A and B are shown apart, each in its own frame.
Chain A
Amino acid sequence: MSKIKNMQQLRDKVLKTIDDLENKKIDINEASVISKLSETIISGLKSELQYSILIGNKPKIDFYGDESGIPLDKDFKKLL
Chain B
Amino acid sequence: MKEIIKICIKHGSLTKELVIKSRINSKGKRTYRCKICMKIQHKNHYEKNKLKILSKNKKYFDEHPDFKNRSKRKMYKLNPKKYIAKSVKWDKENRERKKDRQKKFKTEAVSNLFKSYVKQTLVRGTNLMHKDLSDELVNLAKAVFTLKRKIKNDT
Contact = CB atoms under 8 A, between A and B. Distances in A.
Given A11-B143, A72-B139, A21 B154 contact: yes
Contacts of B155: 28
Interface in B1-28: none
B151 A15 contact: no
A7 B136 contact: yes
Contacts of A15: 143
Interface of B: 113, 122, 126-128, 132-137, 139-144, 146-148, 150-151, 154-155
Contact of B144 (A28, A38, A69): A38
Given A28-B155, A42-B141, A46-B122, A67 B147 contact: no
Interface string A7-47: 11011001101100110000010011011001100100110
A47 B128 CA distance: 9
Contacts, number: 79
A54 B142 contact: no
Contacts of B126: 46, 50
B133 to A, nearest CB: 8
B47 to A, nearest CB: 44
A72 B134 CA distance: 15
Contacts of B135: 69
Residue with the highest number of chain A CB atoms closer than 10 Å, among B127, B136, B139, B143? B143
A55 interface: no
Among the interface residues B139, B140, B150, which one has the most CB atoms of the partner chain A within 10 A? B140
